[in-house]
Structure 1
Amino acid sequence: MTTVSDVSGPRLVAGGAARHGTAGSRRPAAAAPTTLTSEHGDVYVEPGLTPLAAREANRSALVTLLDQAGVAHFAVRGTADHGTVVGVAEEDRERALQALFRGLGQYPGHLSVVDPEAPRPARPVSSRDPRAWREVASARVVQVSWYRTDAGRHLLLGHEYGCAVEFWQRSGTHLVAPRANRATWAVAADGTNVMGAARLFSRFVSDWTPRHLAPALPTRPEFLVHCADDIAFAVDAVYTWVDGNDPVWQRRKARAKGEAYHAESASDARFISRDELRYSIRSLHMFAPWIRNIYVVTDDQVPEWMREDLFGIRVATHREIFRNPADLPTFNSHSIESQLHHIEGLAEHFLYFNDDMFMGRPVAPHAFFTPNGTARYFPSRNRIPQGAVAETDTPVDAACKNNRALLRERFGKVITQPMEHIPYALRRSAMEEAEREFPEAWARTSASRFRAMTDLSPTSSFALYYAALTGRAQPGSMPFTYLQLAVPDLAERLQRLLDGRDQDTFCLNDAFSTPEDIEAQQELLDDFLTSYFPTPSPFER
């Protein structure tokens, strides 16, 4: 997945998306699709583009060609999550290749011959180029794709989202695979197809992924096995969000009793809504379609752009989740985070996002949880300062010191690292247990209207270490970027992030910006976020 800033050539007005693969389409349309010409070859413009939509479009286009030619096929549980694989009996090779030749003649795409023993995959070649067809007559595997981009040309979803055709050799009563897959080397030659859940064929898909993006596929019974590395449990996402520009909320904050002990605690930058939530949810829609439900925790606020009438997203108010109503109103993220596990209907496994955290590319749930349900946490390279809480501590350091003291007293072990700004993988049961085990500290944090010297940091540290010390979490790592917005070279850093698109997650944090900074930053952020996440989620009005 790359940007297409180098794509040149006119965009045609006929048609719309690449017609062979739009959701719900089962056959190529007669009208010409909107096409760009570039150094990449033919690139089809597709509104609403996501990696999963490109993957399904390519699969649908290819199997439609096979169906039209009367070639039997079955979905294979391949080892790559981005693309799909179909198996075809070797004796049907000629008809299958003729179908591909006709289809790629009408709608040019890309082709590569896959050698399972080669140290590197072959480069895809435009189907317009005669060289693309030289070795297909004897190839064990052929991968086909139609490159796609969004209307603004920000994304290029290429060959990795294609569909591979494997030619299975007959051996006695079985068909034998030309390369390894996730389940079996052979299927019954005279077997019949059954329907297999979409999650069997990619780790980017779950039972809660929209069916038009990830339909059940015709496969063989041999692939309907629950593998040891499958994740079948539900994973939810939780956000905390505030619109600091809301005058009603501002009045509540002005009336609240208690003093912010540190300048960072009261900084208006901590409460500004830059519309990050909209784009963070877009990042889930584009890159984590396996999320079951999204919960947005607010102080009786609803983002003006957000739809509330759809399954899969819900606002959970502070009044709903706080066990002690006397703790409200609160303007302390630590306080709010201490109550997240009280959200009604929340899954045992969930990811907690600040609204300035984003998925940066397709990420599987395995990045955050092991198949047996163990959560992963991501320790920082920084270290928690030594000694007791001091007046000069930042709110983050003070909370980490409080976490350390409680955990050392209970478990006899010392935590030394805070966590990176990566979505926090949490176990609901671990948070419930931690609240029961440390009721005084938990209640004190819940009751702090602003960040206080006595706070714990429940989600970003304490609950993660508590889960680890009780056998429910383990350390992990992933490519990520943390970008503080109040830096002089913000434009250059955002551009590098946009050009690379090589981070699993990133955080655009803002705790110290002045009003002058904010005004200058906003245009940069608007351009960056709309370019990185050009496809609206279904939850936007």
Structure 2
Amino acid sequence: MTIIPEPTVRPFTEFVPGPSRGPVAAAAPRPRPQPAAPSAPTADDIYVEPGLTPLGAREANRSAVADLLRSAGVSFFTVRGTSDHGTVLAVAEEDREAVLGALFHGMGQYPGHLSVIDEQAVAPAGPRSSRDPRAWRGVRTAAAVQASWYRTDAGRHLVMGHEYGCAVEFWAWRGTHLVAPRANRVTWAVSGEGPNVLGAARLFSRLVSDHTPEHEAPALPTRPEFLVDCVEDIAFPVDAVYTWVDGNDPAWQQRKAAAKGEVYHAESASDARFISRDELRYSVRSLHMFAPWIRTIHIVTDDQVPPWLREDVPGIQVVSHREIFRDAADLPTFNSHSIESQLHHIEGLSEHFLYFNDDMFIGRPVTPHAFFTPSGKARYFPSRNRIPQGPVVDTDTPVDAACKNNRLLLRERFGRVITQPMEHIPYALRRSVMEEAEQAFPQAWERTAASRFRAMTDLSTTSSLGLYYAALTGRAQPATMPFTYLQLAVPDLADRLQRLLDGRSQDSFCLNDAFSTPEDIEAQQELLDGFLNAYFPVPSPYER
């Protein structure tokens, strides 16, 4: 985690470039290609950005470079580059001197970072401070240069660096066409005639969808050749669904006390299963920061609303159990298996959706491709564990019992045996598959829905059965993802949380709690508060 001294960090709230001072001074001789160590950012090179997100850093860098090009009178268009994090602008080779002059002047006023992109280099050059003369070596012959201004949040927990920068490519004229100096996702050449057109933001980054707010990802000027839907594009909407309960709510506690049903396993009765540690707030923050392509977030509750949640903001809604259960007699229920069996009944839910427990988080920017293929297949993530052999027995955990029940149904229908449960990674589901599976196993499905507490006869519909049903009918495929599963009742919890925070290298992680004692909870909460606020310091638009 980068530590930035507070007194020397300057606000970066506006970038208004002045006129270009002309060409860059004569560049030093081109060095022999070698791996270049990037210069470490100093406090003066990092700017405080309230409400910082990766998408916001990317757009701010693009906007700053675009303003510099306009100030120099340089025409440009946006390229569908190969990176989802940054942006690529194309200019004609003949404008190189004006471009370099504008960048040199602008980055003199507001120091940033620059890297030279040389397709012939043995290793890519790392970014250097724009105040370092070495940053400008080779700019006269480079295929492209990338500019960025490092940003941090007000608490200095995040640093958005050069990967969110804006590259400027120098395209050469070949007759009436402009030819790219390096590969992009669509074409090597575009017509140099005619005006630019606006292209949807999702064309230029897979971190963006048509449902990402326009102020976060505006349409960009480009060439008509880039306005195509490629075979690898995902254009269908993806929703997110959470199940959430506030176990401290007296009204909910009263309903639970009055409910009839026997608890067969100690894990089922553990109060830790119903504790709200405010994880949902931070999980939603993780979507806002790292999965801004999500269309709508659905929070399924037992007539509860998180106290921090704004319900008047588009893109999120609270769904009552009463709205999705086919049989009202099954309510109230305190069984996650029961609730999960009804999620595909949410009105308006997209065909493709991700199901999150409230203790699951996205850990860094991910694209929808991590969970779905462009053709619409879901990806699932088998665990390294194995489902125990044999029928359900009294010593089985609720998870193992449900997996065994899933296995029996799938073997009877498809003649295949499932052997692995799923990792605690957000479950990529298709609504039509869940509806079909419910119709295929109506009695077992109804029995699960009617179980007020976890029972030996439960199915785990979202975390196993629905995924394997999709796989066995050709609508899902196995995949892998960098992730961490952390059980909170471990003695070295502080060290594990710190490693997770320092690395920020996981696409997703789960902070699971099933066995904590009342004595554990207070100490855990202090650690969690510090960790979650440091990992996800920026409030989402859905918070009061």
Q: TM-score, normalised by structure 2?
A: 0.95
1:73-472 matched pairs, under 5 angstroms: 73-472=76-475
CA–CA separation in structure 2 for the residues paired with 1:40 and 1:471: 53
Aligned AA (1:300): D
Shift of 1:68: 1.2
Mapped pair 1:17 → 2:12? yes
CA–CA separation in structure 1 for the residues paired with 2:489 and 2:122: 44
Aligned-pair identity in percent equals 77
Listed one character per residue, the Cα deviations across residues 230-274 of structure 1 (whole Å, up to 9, x for unaligned) are 000000000000000000000000000001100000100000000
1:138 is paired with a residue whose SS is: coil
Shift of 1:146: 0.2
CA–CA separation in structure 1 for the residues paired with 2:41 and 2:468: 50
CA–CA separation in structure 2 for the residues paired with 1:262 and 1:77: 54
Aligned AA (1:4): T
Aligned AA (2:253): Q
Query: Quick check: 1:19–1:29 contact (8 Å CA) kept in 2?
Result: no
CA–CA separation in structure 1 for the residues paired with 2:153 and 2:476: 38
CA–CA separation in structure 1 for the residues paired with 2:207 and 2:393: 45
Shift of 1:421: 0.1
Shift of 1:172: 1.0
CA–CA separation in structure 2 for the residues paired with 1:286 and 1:78: 21
1:8 to 5, 10, 34: 5
CA–CA separation in structure 2 for the residues paired with 1:468 and 1:385: 21
2:160 is paired with a residue whose SS is: coil
Query: Quick check: 2:17–2:71 contact (8 Å CA) kept in 1?
Result: no
Of the structure 1 ranges 38-47 and 205-214, higher mean CA displacement relative to structure 2 is found in 38-47
Change beyond 3 A, Cα 1:439–1:206: same
CA–CA separation in structure 2 for the residues paired with 1:526 and 1:9: 22
Shift of 1:210: 0.9
RMSD: 1.3
2:439 is paired with a residue whose SS is: helix
Shift of 1:29: 10
Shift of 1:115: 1.3
Shift of 1:41: 5.8
Query: Quick check: 1:18–1:148 contact (8 Å CA) kept in 2?
Result: no
2:502 to 499, 522, 530: 499
Listed one character per residue, the Cα deviations across residues 120-175 of structure 1 (whole Å, up to 9, x for unaligned) are 32110101111111211221100000000111111111000000000000111111
Aligned AA (2:2): V
Q: Which runs of 4+ in 1 moved over 6 A?
A: none
CA–CA separation in structure 2 for the residues paired with 1:38 and 1:194: 37
CA–CA separation in structure 1 for the residues paired with 2:424 and 2:393: 24
1:45-84 matched pairs, under 5 angstroms: 45-84=48-87
Query: Quick check: 1:239–1:355 contact (8 Å CA) kept in 2?
Result: yes
What residue in structure 2 maps to residue 24 of structure 1? none
Query: Quick check: 1:17–1:47 contact (8 Å CA) kept in 2?
Result: no
1:199 is paired with a residue whose SS is: helix
Listed one character per residue, the Cα deviations across residues 298-355 of structure 1 (whole Å, up to 9, x for unaligned) are 0000000000001100000000000000000000000000000000000000000000
Query: Quick check: 1:321–1:339 contact (8 Å CA) kept in 2?
Result: yes
Query: Quick check: 1:76–1:201 contact (8 Å CA) kept in 2?
Result: yes
What residue in structure 2 maps to residue 535 of structure 1? 538
Query: Quick check: 1:108–1:126 contact (8 Å CA) kept in 2?
Result: yes
CA–CA separation in structure 1 for the residues paired with 2:336 and 2:305: 18
1:137 is paired with a residue whose SS is: coil
Query: Quick check: 1:19–1:28 contact (8 Å CA) kept in 2?
Result: no
Aligned AA (2:407): R
Aligned AA (2:415): G
What residue in structure 2 maps to residue 23 of structure 1? none
2:56 is paired with a residue whose SS is: helix
Query: Quick check: 1:375–1:426 contact (8 Å CA) kept in 2?
Result: yes
CA–CA separation in structure 1 for the residues paired with 2:437 and 2:194: 52
What residue in structure 2 maps to residue 33 of structure 1? none
What residue in structure 1 maps to residue 25 of structure 2? none
CA–CA separation in structure 1 for the residues paired with 2:359 and 2:137: 49
Query: Quick check: 1:321–1:343 contact (8 Å CA) kept in 2?
Result: yes
1:10 is paired with a residue whose SS is: helix
Query: Quick check: 2:127–2:162 contact (8 Å CA) kept in 1?
Result: yes
CA–CA separation in structure 1 for the residues paired with 2:294 and 2:41: 35
CA–CA separation in structure 2 for the residues paired with 1:126 and 1:276: 38
Aligned residue pairs total: 524
CA–CA separation in structure 1 for the residues paired with 2:432 and 2:438: 10
Of the structure 1 ranges 395-404 and 89-98, higher mean CA displacement relative to structure 2 is found in 89-98
1:516-531 matched pairs, under 5 angstroms: 516-531=519-534
Listed one character per residue, the Cα deviations across residues 470-499 of structure 1 (whole Å, up to 9, x for unaligned) are 111000100000000000000000000000
1:471-490 matched pairs, under 5 angstroms: 471-490=474-493
CA–CA separation in structure 1 for the residues paired with 2:101 and 2:41: 27
Aligned AA (1:176): V
Query: Quick check: 1:422–1:505 contact (8 Å CA) kept in 2?
Result: yes
Question: Where in structure 2 are there 5+ consecutive unaligned residues?
Answer: 20-39
Query: Quick check: 2:5–2:43 contact (8 Å CA) kept in 1?
Result: no
Question: Where in structure 1 are there 5+ consecutive unaligned residues?
Answer: 21-26, 31-36
1:100 is paired with a residue whose SS is: helix
